[in-house]
Amino acid sequence: MITSKDNDKIKYLKKLTSTKHRKREKKFLVDDLKTYNEGIKCGFKPVSLFVSKKFEDLTVPEGCNFFEVKHSVLASVSNQPSFSGIIAVFKLPDFKKDVFNSQRIAVLDGVQNPENVGAILRSAALFDFNSVILTHNSADPFSLKSVRASKGGIFYLKTARLSKEEILEGLKDRRIFLAEKKGGKGLYQVKVPKEKFAIVLGSEGSGIEKDFLKIGEKITIPTTGLIDSLNVAVSCGIIMSRMFGGIGE
């Protein structure tokens, strides 16, 4: 059993909590059982598995390195108050080559809150948006907070962080909807296309970057207007639900 925070394996796990090291090592962490099980169900195989308690429904694939760890030591990696007692290391997938092949794409422009990013990934999986593309100034979708908030959704999607130029080039053959808090066509007045399309969402503070505004159609969620704007993850869920249920109307 690993009992010290100074253990090399624990130090390695802590390094993987940073975007720089995830990118260099090409690995990411999962720190809850539900998300881990979704990964297994989707065919992802963990490289290593660390647990601090027994789980009745825990699958340990053949070839996976398995370690038992003192709970307080493993919890120091996760750094969440209600840590569940499991951390898994998965290989970081690379979808840059085919992220634009999906029928429906969501683009996140400057969405910097990792929990919002994770919630959007969750909605994307539920409403059949198979690709989520993020600008470089958006939060890393493979951070612990994003992965946790996705509730396993990240394993069902193709995700990539790309430059603005790469995104604009990749979107040029499809219809694009721009989510704006005001001034756009009402969401429920939009005829959802049968062909390939994308939705673009910006941060709550800055909105969508001007280069994206040049290439798409503005849409707006109707509200009472009593409060300035919706949370971006909530807005995304509403738009995705509408797009999922309204194809070809």
DSSP 8-state symbol, 53: S
Strands 175-179 and 185-186: unpaired
Q: How many angstroms separate the CA atoms of 108 and 132, rounded?
A: 7
Domains identified in the chain and CATH numbers:
8-91 (3.30.1330.30), 99-245 (3.40.1280.10)
**Cα angle at 151 between 229 and 58, to 5 degrees?**
165
For the CA atoms of 220, 223, 227, 232, what is the dihedral angle to 10 degrees?
-40
Q: How many angstroms separate the CA atoms of 35 and 93, rounded?
A: 16
Q: Which residue has the tokens 């503070």?
A: 205
pLDDT digits over 221-231, tens only?
Answer: 999 888 877 89
Per-residue pLDDT of the chain (249 residues; tens, 9 = 90+): 999 999 999 999 999 999 999 999 999 999 999 999 999 999 999 999 999 998 888 999 999 999 999 999 999 999 888 899 999 999 999 998 899 999 999 999 999 999 999 999 999 999 999 999 999 999 999 999 999 999 999 999 999 999 999 999 999 989 999 999 888 999 999 988 888 999 999 987 778 988 888 889 999 999 988 887 789 999 999 999 999 976 545
